[in-house]
Amino acid sequence: MANDASAVSDALSPAVSNNSLVDPFTPPADSALWRKNFLLGAATASYQIEGAVNEDGRLPSIWDTFSATPGKVLAGDTGAIACDHYHRWEADVELLVSLGLEGYRLSIAWPRVMDAAGAPNRKGLDFYRRLLNRLKEKGVTTFVTLYHWDLPQHLEDRGGWLNRDTAYRFADYADLMSRELAGTVDAWATLNEPWCSAYLGYGNGHHAPGLANDRFATQAMHHLLLAHGLAIPVLHANDPVSQKGIVANVGRGTANSDSAADQRAAHLFEVQHNAWILDPLLKGAYPQELFELWPGTEPLVLDGDMRIISAPLDFLGVNYYFRTNVASDGAHGFRDVPLEGVERTQMGWEVYPDGLRDLLTGFNNTYQNLPPVYITENGMASDDQVIDGRVDDTQRISFLKRHLAAVDQAIKAGVDIRGYFLWSLMDNFEWAFGYERRFGVVHVDYSTQKRTIKRSAEWVAKFLKERKARV
């Protein structure tokens, strides 16, 4: 394993074709990746894979509404069928187990398990109970996210995350789930990527519900974090043995030059992408620099809210994909300055493993109470095609190797990292990009629902087999 996780990156073009990349990954003997208690798994999300949006009492979600709105999702795609996981879950569990994956991170669809009055929907609950019980039977460690963006539409109709009452309805939902599923879940995450829910959903309109107002974004974020804080004691009371945490997407911002203005811009980028979420969780206050970027957008915060939000966490989930190079916008903010000649994915995102290491070590220095960390999402999209029964996604193998190397470096630098979940187990509905962008290590033919193990999945299986033999 190279000391510099980006060294390989600099030598590779976006069209990686080096067959040596598929060799089994062999970290050095002192690598943390050989630790017995380091968890390696894969992740998915309910709306992205389940389909069956009108079956067994499931209610509409904001993503059903958004994706059915012309012009919101690429090619007019929706999650109505997705990977049909709702009907194919048993085979998908066998697939996951066949790869040797030790952990599985999934999410529950809130509209599938409760009716509009808050009463349980037994058919929806039974689906998740069967799924989680099967995973436990197979020895798979289960990480369950309560909210991965599919808010019930009836709550959005009453204001969604702009309405403080939604935070209390989320606590009711967390109460029901943790009472019904206690003992089947190893770790509960309250929210997935509140930055995306708040900013993409309410700030720029790229995601459901499609609103665009900076003031909306900061208020939605506050209610999301309040929902998290209200749910934590409920989860502790109902399922005391499990871990409780939250999942945040984080972004590495680098400056386009050594100028003070550009350095300040990079700092403000990370305030907006990272401190906006982590400061209230770990310091009990919003970063005031955020409101220099967005003057006059301070959310309405009631007495006691920040104490609720900053309740201790058992773990912090970190989702990382790329870095953003920025320069000063000449005022009080930043502007993106895309770098040329760098490796990129199908999403156009730069492959930059050093960013993961630098963020993790930076958080460890900034937050003295940083809880144990799990990398809950890390992966890349590519235009994968099945040719002669195979999917040769060697760039993804290289991507995974280099980011695992970055994780190992961060652990050696003192960060308490307990596991890594690749995104994603299978190709799926990629939100506003529909089905064009493929993140899975398993290819899905959406017309037939045939699963084809990609070369990256073969590599993962080989690595996990070698790891199992060592630990």
Backbone phi and psi for residue 381, each to the nearest 5 degrees, phi listed first = -100, 140
- Residue 403, CB half-sphere, CA atoms under 13 Å: how many? 30
Rounded to an integer, what distance in angstroms lies between the CA atom of residue 44 and that of residue 108?
10
Q: What is the pLDDT of residue 25?
A: 57
Instruction: Please report the beta strands in 213-304, taking only residues with DSSP state E, as ranges in sequence order.
Output: 243-249, 252-255
**C-beta atoms surrounding 418 within 10 Å:** 18
- At residue 23 the predicted structure's pLDDT band, cuts being 50, 70 and 90, is low
Three-state DSSP class for residue 345: coil
Residue range 294-306, pLDDT digits in tens? 999 999 999 999 9
Task: Provide mean pLDDT across the span 135-144.
Answer: 98
What global pTM score does this model have?
0.95
Q: Which domains does the chain have, with CATH numbers?
A: 7-470 (3.20.20.80)
Q: What is the pLDDT of residue 2?
A: 34
Q: What is the pLDDT of residue 36?
A: 85
Residue range 82-120, pLDDT digits in tens? 999 999 999 999 999 999 999 999 999 999 999 999 999
Residue range 13-22, pLDDT digits in tens? 233 333 334 4
Q: Does the pLDDT of residue 252 top 50, yes or no?
A: yes
Q: Does the pLDDT of residue 332 top 90, yes or no?
A: no
Rounded to an integer, what distance in angstroms lies between the CA atom of residue 113 and that of residue 132?
15
Which CA distances in Å does 21 have to 16, 17, 348, 357, 396? 9, 8, 22, 21, 9
Rounded to an integer, what distance in angstroms lies between the CA atom of residue 352 and that of residue 16?
15
Average pLDDT of the residues of the chain? 94
Q: Does the pLDDT of residue 223 top 70, yes or no?
A: yes
Q: What is the pLDDT of residue 13?
A: 28
Residue range 168-201, pLDDT digits in tens? 999 999 999 999 999 999 999 999 999 999 999 9
Q: What is the pLDDT of residue 18?
A: 38
**C-beta atoms surrounding 385 within 10 Å:** 11
Instruction: Please report the beta strands in 193-329, taking only residues with DSSP state E, as ranges in sequence order.
Output: 243-249, 252-255, 315-319, 323-328
Q: Does the pLDDT of residue 244 top 90, yes or no?
A: yes
The residue type at 188: W
DSSP 200: I
Map 113-158 to HEC letters: HECCCCCECHHHHHHHHHHHHHHHHCCCEEEEEEECCCCEHHHHCC
Q: Does the pLDDT of residue 4 top 80, yes or no?
A: no
Q: What is the pLDDT of residue 33?
A: 87
The residue type at 201: G
Q: What is the pLDDT of residue 29?
A: 79
Task: Provide mean pLDDT across the span 217-228.
Answer: 99
Q: What is the pLDDT of residue 34?
A: 86
Q: Are strands 334-336 and 323-328 parallel, antiparallel or unpaired?
A: antiparallel
Query: In the chain, pLDDT over 70 holds for what percent of residues?
Result: 94
Rounded to an integer, what distance in angstroms lies between the CA atom of residue 199 and that of residue 169?
21
Name residues whose C-beta falls within 8 Å of residue 243's C-beta, 6 or more positions apart in sequence: 186, 187, 188, 314, 315
Task: Provide mean pLDDT across the span 339-358.
Answer: 98
The answer to whether the beta carbons of residues 426 and 440 sit under 8 Å apart is yes
Which CA distances in Å does 106 have to 83, 377, 428, 440, 462? 14, 11, 13, 14, 23
- Smallest CA-to-CA distance from 102 within 42, 15, 163 is with 42
Name residues whose C-beta falls within 8 Å of residue 24's C-beta, 6 or more positions apart in sequence: 459, 462, 463, 466
Q: What is the pLDDT of residue 30?
A: 83
Q: What is the pLDDT of residue 10?
A: 29
Across 18-32, 39-53, 265-279, least confident range:
18-32
Residue range 414-471, pLDDT digits in tens? 999 999 999 999 999 999 999 999 999 999 999 999 999 999 999 999 999 988 888 7
Q: What is the pLDDT of residue 455?
A: 97
Q: What is the pLDDT of residue 19?
A: 37
Q: What is the pLDDT of residue 459?
A: 95
Which are the catalytic amino acids? 377
Q: What is the pLDDT of residue 17?
A: 34
Residue range 40-67, pLDDT digits in tens? 999 999 999 999 999 999 999 999 999 9
